[in-house]
Amino acid sequence: MGKIVDKLRGRKLLSTTLVMFTLAIGILLGTLISGGANAARQQTAAPDATPLVVPSPVQVSNTFAQIAKRVAPAVVNINTDAAVRQPAVNRRRRSQTEEEDPREDLFRRFFGNPFDFGAPDQQQGNQRVHNLGSGVIVDPKGYIITNNHVVEKADRIRVRLQGDQTMYEAKLIGSDQETDLAVIKIEVKKPLGFAKIGNSEAVQVGDWAIAIGSPLGFEETMTAGIISAKGREIPNMGGPRRQFQRFLQTDAAINRGNSGGPLLNINGEIIGINTAIISSGGGFEGLGFAMPSNTVAGVYNQIIKGGKVTRGSIGITFLEANEAALRVYGAKSGGVLVNEVQPKGPAEKAGVKPEDVIVAINAKPIKNGEELVGIVADSPVGTALKLSLLRDGKPTDATVTVGDRTEVFKEMLAESRPEPEDSRQGTEVMFGISVANITRDQRRQWELDETGGVAVTNVEGASFADDVGLVKNDVILSINRRPVTSVQDVRNLQRELKPGSDVVFRVLRRGAGPGRPGQWRSFFLAGTLPAGQ
């Protein structure tokens, strides 16, 4: 019995031993197979590759960042508001979609309406147009350079500084349509950061160019590119009012709203004021244009001194003649071929004639029209210039006295619609208007035969005058049947009026009425003066 038990125990132990041995063999084989598989996978990836190691942070070139930190606080966002007024008799006849925006200017031809940021407001029968643009502070006292097309005709100009949501009221110091530049000023009770002016003559094609502004309403936007051309004229600009527009061309991204902002060099100096783009669809296409800083500085200095820009003129138009034309007229190297001589202008008085070739001014050779315009325009009015001429191939001289360009080319530079010279500085009077006396020269320029009257230089939106239909450039002949011949007459009449008084204006307006383009038409505007007027 005991032997049988021992045999059973031996068999059980043998079975257990065999089981354990089998398990050990299985584990060993599994380990070998797994290790072999892992080894195989490691070998089929990239055995010769080196792992990447992220380096410690190291400061790379931060030139642009430094410029942004230093100059961006001097770049401001400009908001303007203007009323597009229509005569009361026509307001109810035209829907909002039929209203035309008279602020259309040369930039519309490049990208439609450059200021179209939403539908205008309709108030008291008026459209109100809101524009956005940029500007740059150049004086810590709050003087700002921008584009004239950003602020022209604005009833209200407001400025927002970087990091400050306050809307500061701005005053227009002066503007220059021929370079599309303007100077405005804000009053802030602290010194302001400002950008330094650079020398655009030092700029070379291929230099870095940096633009800062508020394109499409996105403030503090900075873009970079290069200067792609100098002295560029924009195609189809034409006309004498574009004679002083020679731009720096850049591929730094410039879009709507960048107008008036600075174009900077790699030192963070202003080398231009961003003015226009050429675009088939209204977006950035790599063709941006900035007025050179040397021109900007000259315009700015004149505006802060006298509120306007005065340029010299000798009263000629000219052809940019090619070498063949110059040879035909007797010039061997360079010169300016006179096309027309302004009647009664300085050149005519000095004896200059069409088809003369101007080859030198004060013994300095003149190569082309740009050089001639630069010398004459920068000469103070009244300066005597000695012109060296070729007439029929023979040399002759003429001494010409420089005149004021706006007087010499008065008709050519005048707007299609007459506008008082002091249109922004008329005397504020009752009814929500500003008026100015009309000079004899203005009457002649406007072809205004009627005597008496005062010119309306501004109409406040939603005012009594606005409600009855008065518009800028109207001529008020009488108020309540009493003739008006001066600003003082209007003041005297307003003292007699009280809230609730009936007021009747007899008004002249040019081109007001079908079939009468360019002619003056007389009509009446009337209303009852409300409280507060």
**Active-site residue list:** 149, 180, 259
Which residues have C-beta within 8 Å of that of residue 444, sequence separation ≥ 6? none
Any bridge partners for residue 507, and if so which?
Answer: 476, 523
CA–CA dist 361, 165 (Å, integer): 53
Q: At 118, give phi and psi (nearest 5°).
A: 145, 170
CA–CA dist 448, 439 (Å, integer): 11
Alpha-carbon dihedral 185, 188, 193, 194, rounded to 10 degrees: 10
Q: DSSP for 439-452, please give it.
A: -HHHHHHHT--S--
Q: Give 239's Cβ-side CA count (13 Å radius).
A: 13
Taken in order 448, 450, 455, 456, the sign of the CA dihedral is: negative
Residue 39 Cα distances to 45, 49, 52, 111, 195, angstroms: 10, 16, 22, 65, 65
| C-alpha Rg value of the chain to the nearest Å | 37
Which of 76, 92, 290, 102 has the alpha carbon at shortest distance from 183? 76
Taken in order 352, 356, 359, 363, the sign of the CA dihedral is: negative
What value, to the nearest 5°, has the Cα angle with vertex 350 and ends 346 and 353? Answer: 95
| Count of C-beta atoms within a 10 Å radius of residue 178 | 19
Alpha-carbon dihedral 7, 13, 14, 19, rounded to 10 degrees: 150
Strand, coil or helix: what is 338?
strand
